[in-house]
Amino acid sequence: MNQEEISIIEITEIEAKNPIILCGLPDVGLVGVIAVSHIIKSLNMKEVAYIDSDLFPPIMVFHNGTPTYPLRIYQKEDIFAIFSEAALSPDSIYPLARSIVSWAKEKNTSLLISLGGIGTPNRIDIEVPKVYSASNMPSVKEIIKKYEIPIMEEGFMVGPYALIAKYSIQNNIPNLLLLAEAFPNYPDPGAAASIINTLNKFIPLNIDVKPLIEKSEEIRLSARELMKRTVESLKKMGKSQEYEVPLMYV
Amino acid sequence: MYEVNGMEFWTDESIWNYECGKLEPLYEIYESNGEIIIRMDLPCVQDKSDIKVNVTEYSVNIEAKMGRIIQYEKWGTFQRSIRFYKYSKTIRLPVRVDPKSAKARFKNGILEIRLTKKEQLFTIPIE
């Protein structure tokens, strides 16, 4: 499938009925990337597609001696997981978000979930990060209400998930944002564990976060470079605007 | 160093010094209410007794020993066995500080240092 400069290449025949799509793109605290990576491993999901573009950095990742695309899509039954091992350049996120939403529409997704973080200045004093939610669809808001997930009432969002939310509105795709309190500039496996625990409430994933917590220090070490490049990229996207207050209703 | 779509793809400031087994920690620095606040991510450092912080009016130096040696059998594209055992970083401060005012705490692998700015304050009359 081609959408402008982005290609989503399916490497196997994909069959799924109204799938749930989990999105783990590099953002605050790498929360989505860490959470989705743990979900992929825990569910033993299979790689079914990759995403390519000339707008992406000239990077390939080697795993077990095989060159691999940094942006990949995994599947297990009716659950897909989109995951990136490389930072996203500001110019690439517009066509990338459009392509993800368009692909989700093509697959008749029942829910496109963006997993991310909210930079929290006092994160050092928070033992279990809270997860906030937002959605464009009343039916998804019912899920939020039923499982008592706090709602992100007011604020700005900047970056790839903001665009996925925007294009989901335009394409009438049900999009749910789950955002955990997180360290803005450090990889945050604790925040990723909170996100997974929230997902476990309303999707029968039954993912154990204990191994994620136990490997927390190794993850924080290994994710340092990706975190550093992601912070540089988010600055260029104007991420600091998330700390501003919207004018309406003031 | 070169750029693609506004992103830099080679940095001279590597955060891994594999020859010395030393890591440069991820850190953030900002100003708030007359203070300079530095926060630093130090995974694998077990105890505050493993961290040494030296402060001058213009800089902060941190040396921190990891609780265990971190070994990568096939490090990056070098494919060499590499070991890391400590963090080291000197940060040049944006303003002068009072070193005697420095306070530090270490919680869940994060080091936080607070320094009072050493600035002279003049209140001017409004004409």
Q: Does B68 touch chain A (CB under 8 A)?
A: no
A60 contacts on B by Cβ (under 8 Å): none
Residue B121 confidence (pLDDT) above 90: no
Q: Is residue A246 part of a domain?
A: no
Residue B2 confidence (pLDDT) above 60: no
Q: Is residue B3 part of a domain?
A: no
- Give the residue from chain A lying closest to B16, CA to CA: A225
What residues are paired with A211 via a beta bridge? none
Q: Is residue A245 part of a domain?
A: no
Q: Is residue A250 part of a domain?
A: no
A91 to B5: CB separation less than 8 angstroms, yes or no: yes
B39 to A124: CB separation less than 8 angstroms, yes or no: yes
Q: Does A89 touch chain B (CB under 8 A)?
A: yes
A216 contacts on B by Cβ (under 8 Å): 43
C-beta neighbour count of A219 within 10 angstroms: 21
Interface ipTM? 0.83
Q: Does B50 touch chain A (CB under 8 A)?
A: no
Dihedral over Cα of A138, A141, A145, A151: its sign: negative
Range of the domain at A194: 2-8+16-239
B27 contacts on A by Cβ (under 8 Å): 185
* B62-118 pLDDT per residue, tens: 999 999 888 887 777 767 788 889 999 999 999 999 999 999 999 999 999 999 998
Q: Is residue B93 part of a domain?
A: yes
pLDDT band at B21 (very low <50, low <70, confident <90, very high): confident
Q: Is residue A89 part of a domain?
A: yes
Domain count along chain A = 1
Q: Does B21 touch chain A (CB under 8 A)?
A: no
Distance CA A215, CA B55 (A): 33
Q: Is residue B70 part of a domain?
A: yes
Q: What's chain B's average pLDDT?
A: 85
The C-alpha of A120 sits at a distance from chain B's nearest C-alpha, in angstroms, of 13
- The CATH number linked to B111 is 2.60.40.790
**What global pTM score does this model have?**
0.89
| Average pLDDT by stretches of 10, chain A with 250 residues | 76 95 96 98 97 91 90 97 93 94 97 96 93 95 94 88 96 97 95 97 94 95 91 83 66
H helix runs in chain A, sequence order: 31-43, 93-106, 138-146, 160-171, 189-202, 210-214, 216-222, 224-237
Half-sphere exposure of A70 (CA within 13 A, CB side): 16
Domain count along chain B = 1
Range of the domain at B28: 21-117
